[in-house]
Amino acid sequence: MDLPLWKLALVLSVLVGSISTKAGTGSNEPKFVATHEWQELQEGQPIPQGLHVRINLTTGKKEAKLLDPADGGPSTDSSLSMVPGEELKDHPAAGTGAASDPQTVAGMKLEALREALKDIPANTYEEDVAEGGEAVGSRFKSYEQIKQELKDANVELKSDSEIMTDLFARFERALQHTPADRQELDVLFEDLEYLAHQIDNALQFIDRGGVEKIVWPSLNRTGDAQTRTRALKLLGTIVQNNPKAKVALVERNGGPNLLSALGRATTTDEISAALYAFGGLVRKFPFAQKQLLTPHGYSVLYGVWEKKVELKVKVKVLQLIADVLVDYRSAIAATGENDATTREQYRSTKLPEGLERTEFCKHSAAFFHQHKAALIPEDNLTDETVKALQACRHQLCHEPWSQCPLFRHTLLVLRNNLDHRLDEDVELVEYRREIKRSIDELVVDLYGQPKDEL
């Protein structure tokens, strides 16, 4: 076969009646009269058996013609005729008729198929070549070309920067409504959070004044806890694992505003979102710790333990302080020359002294004892609480907790209840044993071997 490569998209097996209509279908499509020239097929149009069928890549249409003799078709002195009024027959079953010839595939000679396969290009592309033989990347279209082509097809393509510009404008309009469009605001916050997961987008959000235009106005909406919660989640997403965003937020007085938002929050969702943002800012950032972990800051954090919110949110406060302590110890213990600056930064926070001065050990022990009944059925929260307490006891709370009978009593209550419930759920047995081992380690470290009775 001598076919132009730019049209070559062969269906290498001959579609013997593949578009034919069985008798009795009632199709109104005209019968296809095959010749030795390619002819376009209409959708659903029946064709006789033994034709060569292809898809024209230029038009996207199916085309068919008689097989050439070299491809296994009839000789030039034979012809294909159709009897008027006679319906097309189904394909012969496998193993019967012409299809049973092992040297053919649907009537096409295997040798002809092999030759056709040789003509198909294998991942070759034409590229412009500049002087000196250097290929020019003409295969790749620019952003503007793609954008224009999609625009011509009624599909609009926008960059993240353009999307953010639109979101800013839509947000300003949404806040002007009284009351604000709740559904529109939720969609806007969701889209902004998605963009802010990328570090560059988060920095761009801050540089464009997103904190001043979106976050702070949202946090100042009294009587709209849902908008305040979404704004805090957005702020938390922006500063998570993004040192430059943390610095930029502190430079914009973000720390005190965030601390105030945490202090004003009263619902579980809002406090949880505020802790998410506050923790994202202070973790692994000694400058923010020095600014925010002050007596006032600790008072706000300890105050969450007294609010009427879900226990899981209160445990987050303990986990946050434990995480900050672990980071502090790791930085101080580092001995490399490159760690000297980091050590000095963490030392300047005076974290242990601040916790001791605000009686963290006393407040945390009271919280632990006060919520022991709520912790008993919550294996996951018990696990998280005990691990956080283990992190805090080292060089900080070991002495006060070891002298506190209520702290010991709470540990043994949780341990014994876990022991009694080990076999209640087969899938949780190993997990509960692990929690029990953690409690035992803490009890032994603080008080020595536990007694059987309380």
* pTM across the whole model: 0.65
The model's confidence at residue 17, banded by pLDDT at 50, 70 and 90, is very low
Q: Residue 149: its pLDDT value, please?
A: 56
Residue-wise pLDDT tens digits, 138-147:
555 565 665 5
Coil, strand or helix at 51: strand
Residue-wise pLDDT tens digits, 203-218:
999 999 999 999 999 9
Q: Distance between CA 375 and CA 312 in Å, rounded?
A: 10
Residue-wise pLDDT tens digits, 150-199:
555 555 556 778 888 888 888 888 877 655 567 888 889 999 999 999 99
Q: Residue 263: its pLDDT value, please?
A: 95
141 vs 367, which has greater pLDDT?
367
Coil, strand or helix at 375: helix
List the structure tokens of 201. Answer: 């987008």
Coil, strand or helix at 381: helix
List the structure tokens of 36. Answer: 């030795």
Residue-wise pLDDT tens digits, 30-60:
677 888 888 888 877 888 777 777 777 667 6
Provide mean pLDDT across the span 344-363. Answer: 95
Residue-wise pLDDT tens digits, 388-422:
999 999 879 999 999 999 999 999 999 999 988 88
Highest mean pLDDT among 70-79, 135-144, 334-343, 430-439: 430-439
167 vs 14, which has greater pLDDT?
167
For 360, phi then psi, to 5°, come to -60, -45
Q: How many CB atoms are located within 10 Å of the residue 248 CB?
A: 19
445 pLDDT more than 90: yes
Highest mean pLDDT among 184-188, 338-342, 438-442: 438-442
Question: What structural domains does the chain harbor?
Answer: 142-282 (1.25.10.10)
Rounded-to-10 torsion of CA 98, 100, 101, 105: 80
145 vs 382, which has greater pLDDT?
382
Share the mean pLDDT of the chain.
78
